[in-house]
A and B are shown apart, each in its own frame.
Chain A
Amino acid sequence: KAGVTQTPRYLIKTRGQQVTLSCSPISGHRSVSWYQQTPGQGLQFLFEYFSETQRNKGNFPGRFSGRQFSNSRSEMNVSTLELGDSALYLCASSLEFYNTQYFGPGTRLTVL
Chain B
Amino acid sequence: QQQVKQSPQSLIVQKGGISIINCAYENTAFDYFPWYQQFPGKGPALLIAIRPDVSEKKEGRFTISFNKSAKQFSLHIMDSQPGDSATYFCAASGGGGATNKLIFGTGTLLAVQP
Which A residues lie at the B interface, using CB under 8 A?
A: 4, 31, 33, 35, 42-45, 48, 50, 55-56, 58, 90, 92, 94, 97-106
Q: Give every chain B residue within 8 A of A94 (Cβ-Cβ).
A: 100
Interface assignment of B54: CB less than 8 Å from any CB of chain A: no
Indicate if the CB atoms of A102 and B103 lie closer than 8 Å: no
Q: A102–B89 Cα gap in the complex (Å)? A: 14
Q: Are A42 and B43 in contact (CB under 8 A)?
A: no
In chain B, residues 33-56, which have Cβ atoms closer than 8 Å to a Cβ of chain A?
A: 34, 36, 41-46, 49
Would A56 and B99 count as touching, CB distance under 8 A?
yes
> Quick check: A31 and B100 within 8 Å, CB to CB?
yes
Main secondary structure of the interface of B (DSSP, over half): loop
State how many angstroms separate the Cβ of A51 from the closest Cβ of chain B.
11
| Chain B residues proximal to chain A, CB less than 8 Å | 32, 34, 36, 41-46, 49, 89, 91, 98-107
Which residue of the partner chain, among B34, B43, B44, B101, contacts A48 with CB atoms under 8 Å?
Answer: B101
Given A43-B89, A103-B44, A105-B42, A97 and B106 contact (CB-CB distance below 8 Å):
no
Contact across chains for A90 and B43 when beta carbons are under 8 A apart = yes
Beyond A42-B107, A43-B89, whether A101 also contacts B102 by CB under 8 A is yes
Q: Which residues of chain A come closer than 8 Å to B101, judged between CB atoms? A: 33, 45, 48, 56, 58
